[in-house]
Amino acid sequence: MADHGAPHFHSHDTDMHPHEHTHDEQEHHHHEHDHSSKDEWKGADGKIYHSHDGLAPHTHEPLESPGFFSRRARPITSRDFKERAFTIGIGGPVGTGKTALMLALCRELRDKYSIAAVTNDIFTKEDGEFLVKNGALPPERIRAVETGGCPHAAIREDISINLGPLEELSHLFSAEILLCESGGDNLAANFSRELADYIIYIIDVSGGDKIPRKGGPGITQADLLVINKTDLAEAVGANLKVMEQDSLRMRDGGPFVFAQVKHNIGVSEIVNHILSAWEEATHHKRR
């Protein structure tokens, strides 16, 4: 039986900030950030923070552990949901089933709640067009954002490119729930709490059963981890029991769901998690 307690890591500062980058990301993005900016400041943790839009302060210091579910950034309790409806962020690597989950959630929620959706792609509007083509929602309730750069920047750092359309949709349709899909990124990518009130991170078994134990904020600190495409496990040699044990250990009791989203398996459980969080945040009862 796997040890379901918190994982033990040697770290001098495990209370990490949700907007930190890995070493690889630092190298990739050194050209994008001016660290001599007068807008930099030292946080209470002694780290140097800055913000590109005044909304999402973050640091570029390296992560020192895979992260802990119990130490994840919590939802902002002072949020005005009349200004922008309860927002669900859906992140994960490319091809894991984010857009399929968006479609499934639209189908499950649209008859009882006023919802709208924003998708992110780097240079296309393909995911938004997929939702429209498949009748997820009326086209006017869907916005496709072209981030023009690394997808994590639009969900974690300069989130204004998503806040604009989300607020517009919220006002136009008196939305109760908003869905925001990331453009697809690595295990270190996670949503800013300024953007997402509830964070879902989705992986799939085709990457192998090692993915959950690799950790990173996506795996360890999302409010819900979805392990998708379980029907492919045998074909790719992935052991679902190993993935379960590693998810229990790495998420320290945080919830996760095995799913086959395209076959509607696990979707009702995901919806239940979402609506429980929606009820707690908005003090409304589910319908």
Domain ranges of the chain: 90-282
Structure confidence by residue, pLDDT tens digits, 160-179: 999 999 999 999 999 999 99
Per-residue model confidence (pLDDT) at position 45: 62
DSSP string, 111-155: TTS-EEEEEEESS--HHHHHHHHTTSS-GGGEEEEE-SS-HHIII
Res 64: pLDDT: 62
pLDDT in tens, the chain (287 residues): 444 444 333 333 333 343 444 434 343 443 344 434 457 887 766 667 777 656 566 666 665 667 789 888 899 999 999 999 999 999 999 999 999 999 999 999 999 999 999 999 988 999 999 999 999 999 999 999 998 877 778 898 889 999 999 999 999 999 999 999 998 888 878 899 999 999 999 999 998 999 999 998 999 999 999 999 999 999 999 999 999 999 999 999 899 999 999 999 999 999 999 999 999 999 999 99
Among 258, 195, 251, 200, which Cα is nearest to 228's? 258
Q: Are the CB atoms for 89 and 76 separated by under 8 Å?
A: no
Q: Which alpha helices (DSSP H) does the chain contain, by range?
A: 23-29, 98-109, 126-133, 151-152, 160-173, 211-214, 217-221, 233-236, 240-250, 267-282
Integer Cα distance of 95 and 204 in angstroms? 8
- The burial class, CB within 10 Å (0-12 / 13-18 / 19+), for 285 is exposed
* 209: DSSP letter: T
Q: Summarize pLDDT for 32-60 with one digit per residue, the tens.
A: 444 344 578 877 666 677 776 565 666 66
Res 44: pLDDT? 67
> What's the pTM?
0.78
Parallel/antiparallel/unpaired status of strands 115-121 and 177-181: parallel
What does DSSP assign to residue 232? G
90-282 adopts what CATH topology? Rossmann fold (3.40.50)
